């Protein structure tokens, strides 16, 4: 790491820029949260969609696009810098409120979610990488925890605000005026106030290290299957996004089917996402005790919360168990992401995290299909049983295969480099 004043790392040293990136990731969360409560019900009640699998299609389009763009966002962030990719992400979100307000059919909602997937991949990828750039290795877990905490608090606030607006007025257009303001302000902040941070990552790494400057194809293999610990992280990230997808598709429809009003549904969904704010604590905790313990605990706790929601009945029990599953997600979410951050050399860290985020967010698409099929051909409760069972199985893989990656007391060693020709 550079010792020059200009390239010194630390959250306190870069509090202004770090805070702006926190504000932007909060806006990213607000953007996706604005769809969480309203859009599934909009499809069923306004656009006349009767198939749960078709309703899930908008999450499939989101997940496919976001996972692919995550992969390339990390690569582009290394090549062009964080700021241009960030701005491009907010440009793609500008048409989204208009599409949601005027969409005449569900196909338009699906198209809008392609733009949402691009927005989320580019803006959230650059937000997390910029924070890691500025924070440095000693505060990496805390930086990721802050990023995810404020991002998912934005999701919770967006879900709650749009639920309240929909309950007070109507599902649209009023719910999406709020989204329009958020997108425009975030776009302007990205252009005029954000500074480039890629130089901090470049200064942190030693270009002569044997693991430096890996080709992109090698990074893709390493972060997918070439390293047992990174494979365990990638599969866990993939499966844990089934929980997020469940709260996006199945939970609103299941709860309204049980007679809960739309404003109350917004609260239950919001409680789940609000627990993600605890990632500030869980990310910092992992800086002190390691990444593996909170990841393992979180996988099983989130699964138990999901399972419990179909065992109990009533507004308060549903809200409590939504919070339990959210607590599990708060434990595992930032620390799974820190695993590839620890294991990657700074020269390809953004690309390595992009690979992890690709596998993680493809879970939206796969989860939407499986959850939609469960709801279509069995019932809504089956989606909860499916998600809980997969979380327990994935947690077992993490327990058996994931080694500790914390730089100070980790047990993980990267695979030996391939011999040169």
Phi, psi of 35 (to 5 degrees): -95, -20
Give the per-residue pLDDT at 420: 46
Write out pLDDT tens, residues 283-317: 889 888 999 999 999 999 999 999 999 999 999 99
Confidence of residue 206 (pLDDT cuts 50, 70, 90): low
Q: Where does the pLDDT of residue 49 fall: very low under 50, low under 70, confident under 90, or very high at 90 and above?
A: low
Q: When comparing pLDDT for 343 and 188, which is higher?
A: 188
pLDDT greater than 80 at residue 216:
yes
Q: Taking 80 as the threshold, does the pLDDT of residue 126 lie above it?
A: yes
pLDDT at residue 247 greater than cutoff 80: yes
**Residue 148 belongs to what domain range?**
8-201+214-401
Query: Which has more pLDDT, 102 or 166?
Result: 102
Residue with more model confidence, 363 or 343: 363
For 182, the token pair is 């958020």
What does the pLDDT read at residue 352?
A: 87
Lowest pLDDT segment from 76-90, 195-209, 231-245, 286-300 = 195-209
3-state SS record for the chain:
CCCCHHHCCCCCCCHHHHHHHHHHHHHHHHHHHHHHCHHHHHHHHCCCCCCHHHHCHHHHHHHHHHHHHHHHHHHHHHHHCHHHHHHHHHHHHCCHHHHHHHCCCHHHHHHHHHHHHHHHHHHHHHHHHHHHHHHCHHHHHHHHHHHHHHHHHHHHHHHHHHHHHHHHCCCCCHHHHHHHHHHHHHHHHHHHCCCCCHHHHHHHCCCCCCCCCCCHHHHHHHHHHHCHHHHHHHHHHHHHHHHHHHHHCHHHHHHHHCCCCHHHHHHHHHHHHHHHHHHHHHHHHHHHHCCHHHHHHHHHHHHHHHHHHCCCCCHHHHHHHHHHHHHHHHHHHHHHHHHHHHHCCCCCHHHHHHHHHHHHHHHHHHHHHHHHHHHHHCCHHHHHHHHHHHHHHHHHHHHHHCCCCCCCCCCCCCCCCCCCC
Confidence of residue 58 (pLDDT cuts 50, 70, 90): low
**SS3 (DSSP) at 346:** coil
Candidate from 136-140, 206-210, 263-267, 393-397 with smallest mean pLDDT: 206-210
User: Is 52's pLDDT higher than 60?
Assistant: yes
In terms of pLDDT, which residue wins out, 133 or 1?
Answer: 133
Q: Tell me whether residue 1 is in a domain.
A: no
Residue 209 pLDDT grade (very low, low, confident, very high; cuts 50, 70, 90): low
- The number of distinct structural domains making up the chain is 1
- Measured at the CA of 379, the angle between CA 377 and CA 385, to 5 degrees, comes to 110
Mean pLDDT check: name the lowest of 235-244, 377-386, 409-418: 409-418
pLDDT-derived band at 82 (thresholds 50, 70, 90) equals: very high
Among 101-105, 305-309, 358-362, which range has the highest average pLDDT? 305-309
Instruction: Report the percent of the chain where pLDDT is more than 90.
Output: 43
DSSP for 161-222, written as a single string: HHHHHHHHS-SSSHHHHHHHHHHHHHHHHHHHT----HHHHHHHS-TTSTTTT--HHHHHHI
pLDDT of residue 2: 40
What are the tens digits of pLDDT across the range 147-193?
A: 988 998 898 788 888 888 887 887 778 888 999 999 999 999 999 99
pLDDT at 421 over 50: no
Query: Could you tell me if residue 414 is inside a domain?
Result: no
pLDDT (mean) for 246-273:
87
- Note whether residue 3 is domain-resident: no
The mean per-residue pLDDT over the stretch 134-150 comes to 86
Look up the CATH number of the domain holding residue 300.
1.20.1250.20
Residue 375 lies in a domain: yes
In percent, how much of the chain has pLDDT > 70? Answer: 90
* Conformational region of residue 344, where left means phi above 0, alpha means psi within -120 to 50, and beta covers everything else: beta
Whether residue 388 is contained in a domain is answered as yes
Q: Is residue 420 situated within a structural domain?
A: no
**pTM, to two decimals:** 0.77
pLDDT range class, residue 61, cuts 50, 70, 90: confident
In a domain, 156, yes or no: yes
HSE-CB for 363 with a 13 A CA cutoff: 24
Average the pLDDT over 97-117 and give the result: 85
């Amino acid at each position: 790491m550079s010792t020059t004043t200009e390239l010194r790392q630390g959250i306190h040293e870069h509090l202004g820029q770090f805070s702006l990136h926190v504000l932007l990731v909060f806006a990213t969360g607000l953007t996706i949260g604005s769809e969480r409560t309203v859009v599934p019900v909009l499809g069923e009640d306004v656009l006349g969609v009767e198939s749960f699998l078709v309703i899930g299609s908008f999450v499939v389009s989101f997940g496919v696009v976001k996972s692919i763009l995550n992969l390339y966002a990390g690569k582009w962030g290394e090549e062009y810098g964080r700021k241009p990719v960030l701005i491009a992400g907010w440009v793609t979100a500008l048409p989204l409120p208009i599409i949601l307000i005027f969409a005449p059919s569900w196909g338009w909602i699906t198209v809008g979610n392609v733009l949402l997937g691009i927005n989320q991949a580019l803006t959230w990828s650059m937000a997390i990488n910029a924070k890691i750039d500025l924070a440095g290795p000693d505060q990496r877990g805390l930086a990721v925890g802050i990023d995810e905490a404020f991002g998912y608090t934005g999701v919770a606030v967006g879900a709650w605000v749009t639920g309240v607006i929909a309950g007070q007025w109507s599902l649209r257009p009023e719910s999406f005026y709020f989204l329009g303001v958020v997108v425009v302000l975030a776009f302007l902040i990205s252009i005029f106030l954000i500074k480039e941070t890629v130089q901090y990552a470049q200064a942190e790494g030693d270009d002569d290290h044997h693991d430096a400057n890996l080709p992109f194809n090698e990074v893709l293999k390493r972060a997918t299957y070439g390293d047992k610990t990174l494979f365990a992280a990638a599969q866990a990230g993939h499966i844990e996004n089934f929980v997020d997808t469940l709260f996006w598709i199945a939970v609103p429809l299941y709860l309204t089917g049980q007679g809960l009003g739309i404003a109350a549904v917004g609260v239950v969904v919001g409680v789940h996402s609000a627990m993600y704010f605890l990632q500030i604590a869980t990310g910092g905790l992992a800086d002190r005790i390691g990444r593996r313990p909170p990841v393992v605990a979180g996988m099983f706790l989130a699964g138990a919360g999901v399972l419990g929601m179909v065992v109990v009945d009533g507004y308060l029990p549903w809200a409590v168990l939504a919070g339990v599953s959210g607590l599990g997600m708060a434990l595992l979410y930032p620390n799974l992401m820190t695993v590839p951050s620890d294991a990657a050399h700074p020269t390809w860290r953004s690309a390595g995290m992009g690979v992890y985020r690709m596998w993680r967010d493809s879970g939206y698409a796969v989860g939407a299909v499986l959850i939609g099929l469960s709801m279509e051909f069995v019932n809504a409760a089956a989606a909860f049983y499916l998600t809980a069972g997969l979380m327990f199985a994935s947690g077992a893989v993490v327990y058996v295969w994931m080694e500790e990656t914390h730089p100070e007391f980790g047990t993980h060693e990267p695979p030996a480099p391939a011999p040169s020709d």
